[in-house]
Amino acid sequence: MLPQEFLDRMKQMLGEEYPAFLESYEKERYQALRVNPEKGSCEEFLKKAPFTLQPVTWESNGYYYDGQDTPGKHPYHEAGVYYIQEPSAMAPAAYLDAQPGEKILDLCAAPGGKSTQIAAAMHGQGMLISNEIHPSRAKVLSENIERMGIVNAVVTNETPQALAGMFEAYFDRIMVDAPCSGEGMFRKNADACDEWSMDNVHLCAQRQLEILECAATMLCPGGRLVYSTCTFAPEENEGSVSRFLERHPEFSICKVEHFPGMTSGVPAWTEHPAPRIEDTIRLFPHKIQGEGHFLAVLEKEGSVQENYRGFCANGREKTVAERDVEAYAAFCHDYLKKKFSGQLIRFGEQLYLAPADMPSLKGLKVLRPGLHLGTLKKNRFEPSHALAHALRSEEVRYSWDLPGDSREIRDYLSGQTFPAEGEKGWYLITVDGYSIGWGKQAGNLMKNHYPKGLRIPFSGV
């Protein structure tokens, strides 16, 4: 049951379009996935995928899948070949237009859809800080960053205010997918209806402005900020953007391409509309194949010199020389063909690969300071599950492929060993060529190193 106060407001907003809007709630919602280009091309995936797929207009790696398909239960999902994501939610990160080599912040990042989409556009180059204020959600974010094989992301669990105190005019681009009243998700999530109230709309609008204030501090001159919500409420959309711009005249709204079905922001829906508020974008479920969303692309005036770095309160993170971690160097020599770029960071026995020139994160809550390479044990190195996801079969000395539709891959994901003849040592296990974990060959047997906490019991093929 949709809240009556919500319906009354939507009827006033939409006028003659209201019946079509209401009718959309009687229809099946659209479901989509986004292919991970770091695992392989879309063309390659489309040849292998056992799903019915149609492209999402505004995201080149996005595809709708049929309601009868269950991609979340396929081994490809565990391999990070794709991320299941609501189609409208793919739009904001597409408009952020992330570029390789940039410094980018996703300020409200959990569960990781937009962060992994941004990372895909960066192709492992530059630095992405993915932040989430809630600890449990930050953990899920970190797990999704790992599953998608992202090598240049740092996951933090901080308040926007704490980050703003650390970074000043530092990031080239910032994504603010702000906490909101969730009206656009009513069809997807029935619980959102029960939690809705106009009081919550007001509270969200206030919180959004506080978050945007922090983002403004951290964006460098000439940088791009994308603000998005999954609500229809004008107070949280045109209203939040207009109030922010009134306080920050150094920002302006960018005019960007609208894809078919997208509509413009409406000046009349807020009391003091900002200039060009009509250049913001709304997504309505009766007009597009997706749920309700809003986004605004903002740019900060000014420009920076080529070697501009911005300000970080703690300076740069100290690196560890490879000669000081001999066991890792020996592992790379024996089993890897790929040479990673970045800097090594050690926390006790744990070794990470951080983005080059990474700022010191001292004083911040950090869940993942880059790619977890593995564990340094006495006279040996044990590679991490995250490292397996970050590699391809051609980048390792030994690999072992299991068919995606086989009992063997399901046995592997459930933690079982399997017969395997070959050279002793570490093998990258793949499913139809996509990396999914580690195995270690010894005595004609492939020992299973798929993490116990991720193992899936299967009852059949």
So which residues are the catalytic ones? 230
- From the list 192, 312, 180, 188, the residue with the least C-alpha distance to 233 is 180
Q: Is-contact 26 286, C-beta < 8 A?
A: no
Q: Using CA atoms, how far apart are residues 328 and 314, in angstroms rounded to an integer?
A: 28
**Helix, strand, coil shares of the chain as percentages rounded to 5?**
35, 25, 40
- From the list 327, 358, 455, 389, the residue with the least C-alpha distance to 151 is 389
Q: Which residues of 233-246 are buried (b: 16+ CB within 10 A; e: fewer)?
A: bbbbbbbbbbbbbe
Burial of 409 (0-12, 13-18, 19+ CB in 10 A): buried
Burial of 257 (0-12, 13-18, 19+ CB in 10 A): exposed
- 429 forms beta bridges with 400, 437
Q: Using CA atoms, how far apart are residues 85 and 116, in angstroms rounded to an integer?
A: 11
Residue appearing with tokens 């391999």: 79
DSSP 349: T
Structure tokens at 302: 């000014």
Instruction: Report the SS3 class of residue 136.
Output: helix
Burial of 395 (0-12, 13-18, 19+ CB in 10 A): middle
Cα Rg, the chain, nearest whole Å: 23
Residue appearing with tokens 């240049």: 152
